[in-house]
Amino acid sequence: MKQPESIENNTNADLLNFKDIVDQWQNMVYNTALSIVQVEADAEDITQDVFLNVYEKLPAFRGEAQLSTWIYRITVNNALDFEKKKKRQKNGGLFRQIFRLKEEDEPVNFNHPGVLLDNKEKAAALFKALKKLPEKQRVVFTLHKIEGLPYQEVAAIMNTSLYAVESLMLRAKAGLKKTLEQFYQSQA
């Protein structure tokens, strides 16, 4: 089994190239992770993990996909894995299950860089509704609507067909519409 190279074994050119990658993509990685996990500290941890993965796997990157697609895929996978791990820990013992808050009762309280101050309440409702969607629908909606990626790139990131992405987006919109209608009716 091949061990990853240490930083000492890499040339200065490799490190400069990696630094350029981090500088160019760190905001995208952080924003995508934040949109999925909705906790700033967790998004920061995921961002660090993503760039560690990128650093370790960069020599094996063959260029079959765009670099941005590859980094998005790593980001989405790391964020979803992080959520699953956190959910397993949260559902831990009987004591935790008896005394924990229900997930839907937990407030969504974070500041997403793409949300204007005037829209904080609406954004909180949207992100809370996003948490209720199935994983794939949530990822498609996040990548397309929040990150602004075209369906083709979303399909490449998720390693699925364009038709599947369109179908997931339709179901995500329907699910969000239903959840948000309930929210706004309760506000009236």
Residue 155's pLDDT is: 96
Tell me, what's the pLDDT at 166?
97
The residue whose two tokens read 């309440």 is 121
- Amino acid identity at 99: F
**Interatomic CA distance for residues 128 and 104, integer angstroms:** 8
Distance, CA of 39 to CA of 127 (rounded, Å): 11
Any idea what the Cα angle at residue 88 is, between residues 85 and 90, rounded to 5°?
Answer: 110
The pLDDT profile of the chain, 188 residues, written as one tens digit per residue, is: 333 343 344 454 555 588 899 999 999 999 999 999 989 999 999 999 999 999 999 888 888 888 999 999 999 999 999 998 888 777 665 555 555 544 444 444 555 555 555 567 777 788 889 999 999 999 999 999 989 999 999 999 999 999 999 999 999 999 999 998 887 787 76
From-to residues of CATH 1.10.10.10 in the chain? 114-188
Q: What is the CATH number of domain 1-101?
A: 1.10.1740.10
**pLDDT for position 116:** 54
pLDDT in the model for residue 150: 96
> In this predicted structure, what is the pLDDT of residue 63?
82
Comparing CA positions, the residue from 96, 56, 48, 53 lying closest to residue 73 is 53
* CATH number, span 114-188: 1.10.10.10
Cα→Cα distances 124→115, 116, 130, 176, 180, Å = 10, 12, 10, 13, 11
Q: What angle do CA 160, 164, 166 make, to 5 degrees?
A: 125
CATH 1.10.1740.10 residue window(s) in the chain: 1-101
Q: Is residue 161 helix, strand or coil?
A: coil
pLDDT (0 to 100) of residue 117: 53
pLDDT of residue 87: 81
